[in-house]
A and B are shown apart, each in its own frame.
Chain A
Amino acid sequence: MSNFSIPGSQSTPAIDGDWDHGTLSMQGDSYPENSYELFQQVFSWVERFLLEAGRPLTLELRLLYLNTSSIKAMMDIFDLLEDAHHEGKPVAVNWRYDPRNERVAELAEEFKEDCTFPFAIVALDSATSTS
């Protein structure tokens, strides 16, 4: 019904919400000047998708550096998914990372800690991990 796309910049991730495929992808670094403004759009999209779409939702993440307010925003989004999961709605997260930087995987583990929905932390092929 409504796709949603924000091009990435040096300090903000590229964000793409695909309503028909039920995917939301986020890629890059996140230390925006106004993270509330940026993530409010993401939050609203996810909220509306979960309410209206009646389809599975998958988050495809390739996030590297997150500043403190971005961390908070991501946790709020995961809370949304957790609530949806408890209502029996199918949701999942795939967090992909460059195996040359294992620390990103450790941080993804921290986010995963309180989530009971499927949350995969997957190493990228080094051939495709050019960013």
Chain B
Amino acid sequence: MSRDNGELEELIKRQLADPDLREHPLNFTLGQLWFQYRELLNRMERITRMSDAYQSMARQRELSLAERFDKQLRQLEKVARISDRYQHMMRELNIALKEAATHDPLTALANRRPLIERLKAEMERSERLGHPFCVAMLDIDRFKNINDGHGHDVGDTVLIETARVMEAEVREYDLCGRWGGEEFLIILPESTLALADDIVRRVRGCIGQLKVRVGDEVLSVTISAGLAQYRGGGESYSGLLNRADAALLQAKRDGRDSQRLAD
């Protein structure tokens, strides 16, 4: 309210209260007008107060909604972050599980599962393209004597070392794995029997040069091997392996430390 208004109001109040002016013809009119003016002012103040209250209520509501929204957003981000990490963990566990399911824990070579899978794939490839491929079954000679004479720890060391040399000596696209016990399988794609014969001879030679120290003693091993080339024409993988096995048996019968080719 400006000073002029304030002065005017004071003047009107004084004049309405002045007994000398009570009989003035405009006194009643001014009184009515003054009354109405006060009423309007009161009403306006009330409306302003109410509207302010509404406004502050809406503001409160907005604040609490924004707060809740922010909280939900933070929670959602956290849930997503944790969920991503759980998925990451599962993926790593899956990889570890697959490794465990397809590899021999002692030598870390492939076990039968990937060997058979690869055999089937190579057989299909060979049928399709007419390329030759071979398998070689290798066996450590008189391995039982090592186990019995020096204990299983030494036997395990021999297996690990043999596997290491074998894997280092085969070609990059060959696959070698532990077939069982002291028996190893090498799959040699894109190879005739003659070529596979050379490769297996080299692998056997390298394993023969291995020296495993046991106390004062130095152990070395020899390898017998049987090789077979895939015949095609619907030969089964077990048929192929049986022929390699029979050749291996022949090598053993012929005095070990040697390799034989299946017909």
Contacts and interface: CB of A to CB of B under 8 A. Distances in A.
Interface of A: 65-68, 71-72, 75, 101, 103-104, 106-107, 110-111, 113-114
A71 B92 CA distance: 20
B85 A106 contact: yes
Contact of B86 (A65, A75, A113): A65
B71 to A, nearest CB: 9
Contacts of B90: 65
A32 to B, nearest CB: 15
Interface string B80-102: 11110110011010000000000
A66 B78 contact: no
A110 B81 contact: yes
A75 B78 contact: yes
A96 to B, nearest CB: 17
Given A75-B75, A75-B78, A110-B78, A103 B89 contact: yes
Interface of B: 75, 78-83, 85-86, 89-90, 92
Contact of A107 (B75, B80, B89, B92): B89
A107 B78 contact: no
A71 B89 CA distance: 15
A110 B85 contact: yes
B82 A111 contact: yes
23 contacts: A65-B86, A65-B89, A65-B90, A66-B86, A67-B83, A68-B83, A71-B79, A71-B83, A71-B86, A72-B79, A75-B75, A75-B78, A75-B79, A103-B92, A106-B85, A107-B82, A107-B85, A110-B78, A110-B81, A110-B82, A110-B85, A111-B82, A114-B78
Contacts of B79: 68, 71-72, 75
Contacts of B78: 75, 110, 113-114
Contacts of A101: 89
Contacts of B92: 103
A59 to B, nearest CB: 17
A131 to B, nearest CB: 15
Contacts of B83: 67-68, 71
B181 to A, nearest CB: 29
B83 to A, nearest CB: 4
Contacts of A107: 82, 85-86, 89
Nearest to A66: B86
A121 to B, nearest CB: 14
A50 B80 CA distance: 29
A48 B92 CA distance: 39
B122 to A, nearest CB: 37
A68 B90 CA distance: 13
Contacts of A111: 82
User: Which of B80, B81, B83 has the most chain A CB atoms closer than 10 A to its own CB?
Assistant: B83
A38 to B, nearest CB: 17
A114 B81 CA distance: 14
A100 to B, nearest CB: 11
A71 B79 CA distance: 6
